Chain A
Amino acid sequence: MAELTLQKRAPEAEALRALSERLGDPDWLRRLRRQAFEALDGLPFPQPRSRRLDLDWRAFEVLLPEEAPRMEGRRARLQLRNGVPVAEGGAELPEGVVVLDLETALERMPDLLERYLHQAVRFDTDQMTALNAAFRMGGVIIYVPEGVEVSEPIVLQQELTESGVAFFPYTLLIAAPGSRLTVIDELGGPTLDRPALTSGVVELYAESGSVVQYVAVQRWGSHVVDFTTRALHARRDAAVRWVNVSLGARLSRAVIRAHLLEPGVAADLLGLYIVDGDRYIEHDTLQDHIAPHTTSDLLYKGVLRDSALSVYSGLIRVHHGAQRSNAYQANRNLLLSRQARADSIPMLEIEANDVRCTHGASLGPVDEEHLFYLMARGLSRSEAEHLIVLGFLQEVLERIPVERVREEILEDLEAILFPAG
């Protein structure tokens, strides 16, 4: 594996040019980067709802790779460190399926990228998406051709091992018509001393009749302030299960938008978050029913301890003419300490009448009666609480597709919630 030296630069126009130069961007991508950079100052900063953040992205340095090893893009596992691909492995993928870092992909399939890049998440959504579009390097594309079924789960491991930097992970998933795949996108890294900023973008394109399972697991170190914007474009009869697991970061604000563009789409939207200390997690979801006969089912569950704070804000929007839409939304929070707090803002905007929509939100402590029941069976209070927390999360956990991923999440939540035991 090639040795990497990382050069840090302030995110200015020259750095941008240098980045394009180094990465060998095609003209259209250079243009896009420049546009995004120029738009930056005019765009809103996505301020977290319940924790004021004064953040100047110029205070962070941008990572520039000296040299990146070439990937084949034929394996089910791809590893990136600080935006640079470092290893690939795992099972051989079926013919035509590609799992590649963006730079290599730009050489091999520029037209495909030009067609999809920043369609679902527009670069001018806010300052953070613009930063990503301007200074992104690395990033991953997964492409599955028409009718191809990938039986092995594809695993992306994106790691950040630097502090004092701004980092822009990016995942592009294109499931061509009738294809099937499962993707596990793991973002993480050790906790370091100086703060770091991440601004991630994920674009999921589920073309007609595709079956897509996408699981994102966020385990940033607790020095990270994390922004992420993820969007799905789902076409006719696509079936999508999309799981967002948030375990790390000091402050994390995730925007998750599912656009159901054509009839017959079914989207299963799941979320799980575990927050401790004085960390802050915010989820901002949109179930956007543009076409009739579409279904979305959202369940976000969180457990909070210490003086952690979470915000869930979710909107179901049924557009005029999107008849026979079914949309469900539920946010449930379990609070393990008196200082923990969970805000819930579920919203509905319905402009079609032949629809079925419900939403629900709840929060509360561990039920004393449940505790009493288990303790009467001989469990200690902490064992009982432990069991109840697991039971609470089971509903989401059991819908995460890969056994190994489920187990690792379980280990993480044990470590966060019950560190002594």
Chain B
Amino acid sequence: MEETKVLETLRDDYAERYGFRDEATYLYETPRGLSRRVVEEISAIKNEPEWMRQFRLRAYEIFLKKPMPTWGADLSGVDFDRIVYYARPTDRPARSWDEVPEYIKRTFERLGIPEAERKFLAGVEAQYDSESVYSNVREDLARMGVIFCSTDEAVQKYPDLVREYIGTVVSIADNKFAALNSAVWSGGTFIYVPPGVRVEYPLQAYFRINREAMGQFERTLIIADEGAFVHYVEGCTAPIYTEDSLHAAVVEIIVKRGARVRYTTIQNWSNNVYNLVTKRAFAYEEATMEWVDCNIGSKVTMKYPAVYLLGRGAHGEVLSMAFAGDGQHQDTGAKMIHRAPYTTSLVQSKSISKGTGRASYRGLLKVYPGAEHVKANVSCDALLLHDVSRTDTYPTMEIQEQNVHIGHEATVSKVGDEQIFYLMSRGLSEEEAITMIVNGFIEPIVKELPMEYAVEMNRLIALEMEGSVG
């Protein structure tokens, strides 16, 4: 079939655009493998207070005890003994771009980070392997009390805030990878937005794995105080190696009364990264939490952004887009946990499976007794491009309250011959027709991205099809 050839080259330019590597020299790195000593070393290098050292050690013990998940994607390729848990490229994050070491600067310049910052961002943080190498926030925001820095820096500068919230949304015992992250975490973003402050431009972080067999364990903590608003965008890429890397982040978000947080992820790891991430938000009264989660890269992703709707009238959304190319398994989804009355949630998932790619939607919608007048809707659409492509949908609903309205729908389809025929009869080439159909399919998610990212996403999905029909 002609149309099955289309999209075959999508991500074929990954090696050229993102897959390059630096011959980096590290100031410090731990030996491969994990031990109590490695955990203590990481804490010592960071000169952490005792409570954080204890936090790590407790988590390490739990990590040893927790079993690997037996559900979801195949994780048999994860080898905890082969991984480097910590590699430090620089002394401290730079405040101005000029201070960033030359080779790292080159990397991020190739990825377009400084350019993006000049154009439309309120602040940028860049993490290279384990440590943040650059972090900057606009002065006016800093004056209003907005904190935007690496989580390591926050432990030193704002220990009370970090100590109050870290591990409260995602417990260190939540799952094996959350425990691992809690033991060896490094970098990640800390954001605090004071009451009533609206950060009108997105804050951005860019995560880059450079080293082979690297484990990146960033820890992100976002606190939006009452009535605040912030939009945080993260992007991820890595070079292509033969040895697999592991990315196991934990993201905790607290959305206080009346506040709104939007968290956008463009995950474009290379195809040798296991991406196993725990993302969770607590949304209090009248608060809104939105996850916009785009997964294009990685070898295996297991990620189910969650919103715990804890206060009356809270609203949660997950807009999820997954693209599973040859050999990739995107096991993604959403969790909506309704614990308060009059809470609402919306999950919209779109996935595309290409070649032998497999995209799975796995979700949980839970309504606790007493959470009356909940309205929740989950819809999942899957597009299959080839006859060897695979898609799954596993949405679980546990509803323990009667006075609620719950809906779920899922569809699976292919790019229809009739749709292609229609567009071609209007004068489009087959390639243009398929591009248009695929773009239309993901449009509801893409339109939620900041303009620059939407353009990039469309470019990823569409321009790569050039010359692929025939």
Q: For the complex, is B384 an interface residue (Cβ under 8 Å from A)?
A: yes
Complex-state Cα separation, A363 to B378, whole angstroms: 13
Q: Is the CB of B402 within 8 A of A340?
A: yes
Give per-residue flags for A56-84: 1 if the beta carbon is below 8 A from chain B beta carbons, else 0: 00000000000000000000000000000
B residues less than 8 Å from A318 (CB atoms): 412
Q: For the complex, is B140 an interface residue (Cβ under 8 Å from A)?
A: no
B window 387-439: CB within 8 A of A = 387-414
Residue of B nearest to A317 (CB): B392
Q: Is the CB of A345 within 8 A of B397?
A: yes
Q: For the complex, is A353 an interface residue (Cβ under 8 Å from B)?
A: yes
Residue of A nearest to B407 (CB): A362
Q: Is the CB of A346 within 8 A of B395?
A: yes
Q: For the complex, is A117 an interface residue (Cβ under 8 Å from B)?
A: no
Q: For the complex, is A96 an interface residue (Cβ under 8 Å from B)?
A: no
A window 155-193: CB within 8 A of B = none
Q: Is the CB of A350 within 8 A of B390?
A: yes
Q: For the complex, is A335 an interface residue (Cβ under 8 Å from B)?
A: yes
Give per-residue flags for A357-377: 1 if the beta carbon is below 8 A from chain B beta carbons, else 0: 111111111000000000000
Q: Is the CB of A350 within 8 A of B402?
A: no
Q: Is the CB of A338 within 8 A of B384?
A: no
A residues less than 8 Å from B393 (CB atoms): 346-348, 359
Complex-state Cα separation, A238 to B203, whole angstroms: 60
A window 309-340: CB within 8 A of B = 318, 320-321, 323, 335-340
Q: For the complex, is A352 an interface residue (Cβ under 8 Å from B)?
A: yes
Q: Is the CB of B414 within 8 A of A354?
A: yes
Q: Which one, B408, B412, B413, contacts A344 given CB within 8 A?
A: B408
Q: Is the CB of B411 within 8 A of A357?
A: yes
B residues less than 8 Å from A355 (CB atoms): 384, 412-414
Q: For the complex, is B296 an interface residue (Cβ under 8 Å from A)?
A: no
A residues less than 8 Å from B399 (CB atoms): 341-344, 363
CB distance from A254 to the nearest CB of B (A): 19
Q: Which one, A341, A350, A352, A353, contacts B400 given CB within 8 A?
A: A341
Q: For the complex, is A349 an interface residue (Cβ under 8 Å from B)?
A: yes
Complex-state Cα separation, A42 to B392, whole angstroms: 30
CB distance from B377 to the nearest CB of A (A): 9
Residue among B353, B382, B399, B412 facing the most chain A CB atoms (10 A cut-off)? B412
CB distance from B169 to the nearest CB of A (A): 26
CB distance from A39 to the nearest CB of B (A): 25
Residue of A nearest to B410 (CB): A359
Q: For the complex, is A356 an interface residue (Cβ under 8 Å from B)?
A: yes
We find that the number of chain A residues with CB closer than 8 angstroms to chain B is 35
Q: Which one, A321, A354, A360, A364, contacts B404 given CB within 8 A?
A: A364
Q: For the complex, is A395 an interface residue (Cβ under 8 Å from B)?
A: no
User: A342-B399, A363-B399 in contact; A347/B392 too (CB < 8 A)?
Assistant: yes
Q: Is the CB of B413 within 8 A of A356?
A: yes
A residues less than 8 Å from B408 (CB atoms): 344, 346, 359-362
Q: Is the CB of A365 within 8 A of B409?
A: no
Q: Is the CB of A360 within 8 A of B385?
A: no
Complex-state Cα separation, A362 to B375, whole angstroms: 11
Q: Is the CB of A348 within 8 A of B406?
A: no
Q: For the complex, is B386 an interface residue (Cβ under 8 Å from A)?
A: yes
B residues less than 8 Å from A342 (CB atoms): 399
CB distance from A21 to the nearest CB of B (A): 45
Q: Is the CB of A353 within 8 A of B386?
A: yes
Give per-residue flags for A253-282: 1 if the beta carbon is below 8 A from chain B beta carbons, else 0: 000000000000000000000000000000
Q: Is the CB of A360 within 8 A of B407?
A: yes
A window 5-25: CB within 8 A of B = none
**Interface residues of chain A: helix, strand, loop or mixed (majority):** strand
Residue of A nearest to B406 (CB): A363
B residues less than 8 Å from A353 (CB atoms): 353, 384-387, 389, 414
CB distance from B182 to the nearest CB of A (A): 31
CB distance from A285 to the nearest CB of B (A): 15
A residues less than 8 Å from B397 (CB atoms): 343-345, 361, 363
User: A323-B387, A353-B386, A353-B387 in contact; A348/B392 too (CB < 8 A)?
Assistant: yes
Complex-state Cα separation, A360 to B412, whole angstroms: 12
B residues less than 8 Å from A345 (CB atoms): 394-397
User: A343-B397, A345-B397, A362-B407 in contact; A350/B412 too (CB < 8 A)?
Assistant: yes
Complex-state Cα separation, A360 to B377, whole angstroms: 11
A residues less than 8 Å from B396 (CB atoms): 343, 345
A residues less than 8 Å from B389 (CB atoms): 351, 353
Give per-residue flags for B338-353: 1 if the beta carbon is below 8 A from chain A beta carbons, else 0: 0000000000000001
User: A320-B387, A353-B389, A355-B384 in contact; A338/B410 too (CB < 8 A)?
Assistant: no
Complex-state Cα separation, A354 to B415, whole angstroms: 8
Q: Is the CB of B384 within 8 A of A350?
A: yes
CB distance from A36 to the nearest CB of B (A): 29
CB distance from A339 to the nearest CB of B (A): 7
Complex-state Cα separation, A361 to B397, whole angstroms: 9
Q: Is the CB of A354 within 8 A of B387?
A: yes
CB distance from A344 to the nearest CB of B (A): 5
Complex-state Cα separation, A344 to B396, whole angstroms: 6
Q: Is the CB of A362 within 8 A of B406?
A: yes
Q: Is the CB of B404 within 8 A of A358?
A: no
CB distance from A29 to the nearest CB of B (A): 39
Residue among A337, A348, A349 facing the most chain B CB atoms (10 A cut-off)? A348
B residues less than 8 Å from A344 (CB atoms): 397, 399, 408
Complex-state Cα separation, A335 to B397, whole angstroms: 15
Complex-state Cα separation, A358 to B413, whole angstroms: 9
Complex-state Cα separation, A357 to B401, whole angstroms: 29
Q: Is the CB of A360 within 8 A of B409?
A: yes
Q: Is the CB of B388 within 8 A of A364?
A: no
B residues less than 8 Å from A340 (CB atoms): 402
Complex-state Cα separation, A384 to B393, whole angstroms: 37
B residues less than 8 Å from A321 (CB atoms): 387
B residues less than 8 Å from A348 (CB atoms): 382, 391-393, 410, 412
CB distance from A297 to the nearest CB of B (A): 15
Q: Is the CB of B410 within 8 A of A346?
A: yes
Residue of A nearest to B393 (CB): A348
B residues less than 8 Å from A336 (CB atoms): 402
Residue of B nearest to A357 (CB): B412
Q: Which one, A350, A351, A358, A364, contacts B409 given CB within 8 A?
A: A358
A residues less than 8 Å from B391 (CB atoms): 348-350
Q: Is the CB of B406 within 8 A of A364?
A: yes
- A-B contacts besides A350-B390, A353-B389, 17 pairs, CB < 8 Å: A335-B402, A344-B408, A345-B397, A348-B393, A348-B410, A348-B412, A350-B391, A352-B384, A356-B413, A358-B410, A359-B393, A361-B408, A362-B406, A363-B404, A364-B404, A364-B406, A365-B403
Q: Could you list 25 examples of A-B contacts with CB < 8 Å? A: A318-B412, A340-B402, A341-B399, A343-B398, A344-B399, A345-B394, A345-B397, A346-B395, A346-B408, A347-B392, A347-B393, A350-B382, A350-B384, A350-B392, A351-B390, A353-B386, A355-B412, A357-B413, A358-B410, A359-B393, A360-B409, A361-B407, A362-B405, A363-B406, A364-B406
Chain B interface residues (CB < 8 Å from chain A): 353, 382, 384-414
Closest 8 CB pairs of A and B: A353-B384, A348-B393, A335-B402, A357-B412, A361-B408, A360-B409, A353-B414, A338-B402
Chain A interface residues (CB < 8 Å from chain B): 318, 320-321, 323, 335-365
